[in-house]
Amino acid sequence: GENVEQHPSTLSVQEGDSAVIKCTYSDSASNYFPWYKQELGKRPQLIIDIRSNVGEKKDQRIAVTLNKTAKHFSLHITETQPEDSAVYFCAASGGGGADGLTFGKGTHLIIQP
């Protein structure tokens, strides 16, 4: 089945700086890669996603890049703000087997004032 690795597990950046979170996946048939943000005690919320037919997608301060050859994808947050502090999860799906998402272990992003 699919295996998703996510790094780093904790990331601390100064407010206003950029943050990058990286994920790798194992199943070359996977074709859908969402990113979720989870604040403490709350549900995971979809913030951006990308499909395997594109290499990059942007939404205001958030961007995701995908390298199918290397089987890795990254989340980029620019001009970070205190409200960006949360745990971020990458996921992959669409490969052989279940349509269920396989998640990375999460990155705790801390924005330092």
- Residues at the site binding another protein, with contacts judged by CB under 8 A: 1, 6, 32, 34, 36, 42-46, 49, 89, 93-94, 97-106
CB closer to another protein out of 41 and 113: 41
Give Cα 11 distance to the centre of its chain: 13
In this structure, what token pair is assigned to residue 105? 């272990």
d(CA 40, CA 83): 12
In this structure, what token pair is assigned to residue 38? 């989870």
User: Shortest gap between Cβ of 98 and another protein (angstroms)?
Assistant: 3
User: Shortest gap between Cβ of 42 and another protein (angstroms)?
Assistant: 7
Q: How many CB atoms lie within 10 A of CB 103?
A: 18
**Cis preceding-peptide flag for 8 (omega within 30 of 0):** yes
CB closer to another protein out of 13 and 94: 94
User: Shortest gap between Cβ of 83 and another protein (angstroms)?
Assistant: 19
User: Shortest gap between Cβ of 55 and another protein (angstroms)?
Assistant: 19
